[in-house]
Amino acid sequence: MAFRYPNGKMYTSTSQKRPVKNNVTYSNRGMTLEEDINVTNSYYLAAEVAVIHKKPTPLQIVKVDYPKRSAAVVKEAYFKQPSTTDYNGVYRGKHIDFEAKETKNKTSFPLKNFHDHQVQHMKTILNQGGICFVLLRFSSHDEVYLLDASYLISYYQEKEEKRKSIPKQDIEQYGHFIKTGYHPRIDYLKTVDEVYFSHND
């Protein structure tokens, strides 16, 4: 079956691009941020710590065959642009909503990685009292930071004034470094505790 992005480009699975390794571990730096977070979320769910899931990317089906009356086979579809953020769920009785992005840039994080509808969604979550942030990975440094959505929104609004990125030094100042490990791989909820719940403890 053929999948296409909104711009018409064919979708290719990352598993087809990356050679399979026999000794893959959770410390494998070849894993994408999304894969690391998915593994982490599975750990949280199994340990009954939190219920957080990645939202499926919506599809626009354009071609369907009906080889049998009781079955339909999708032959071609397009990935539609998600209207919200990548992840949401519940932790300690609070709604959590976040986006995850990574860059190869060493000194800044490009704002083009975010979209108007995502930023607007983050504003809505904050207005309703939810916890909203972004997880940003600098892949060249193998560093992950949690940045509250309010900071991202502020920088994004400056995009109209020719701002193209968030300096890494600002992310280090206003964000929170997340130490990576094994189980879980990216323990972002430990940072969430420190940032959003420490005043309640």
Give the pLDDT band (50/70/90) at residue 163.
confident
Q: Is the pTM of this model over 0.85?
A: no
Calculate the alpha carbon distances from 173 to 115, 145, 146, 166, 167 in Å. Answer: 24, 10, 11, 11, 10
* Stretch 173-200: mean pLDDT: 92
Q: Is residue 55's pLDDT more than 90?
A: no
* Stretch 3-23: mean pLDDT: 45
**Domain residue spans in the chain?**
2-200
CATH code of the domain made up of 2-200: 3.40.1350.10
Q: Any idea which residue has 């990935």 for tokens? A: 79
Give the pLDDT band (50/70/90) at residue 13.
very low
pLDDT at 89: 97
Distance CA 31, CA 40 (A): 12
Q: Is residue 41's pLDDT more than 80?
A: yes
User: Six-digit token pair at 25?
Assistant: 């571990």
* 56 CB neighbour count, 10 Å cutoff: 7
CA nearest to 152, candidates 122, 124, 194, 196 = 122
Distance CA 186, CA 26 (A): 10
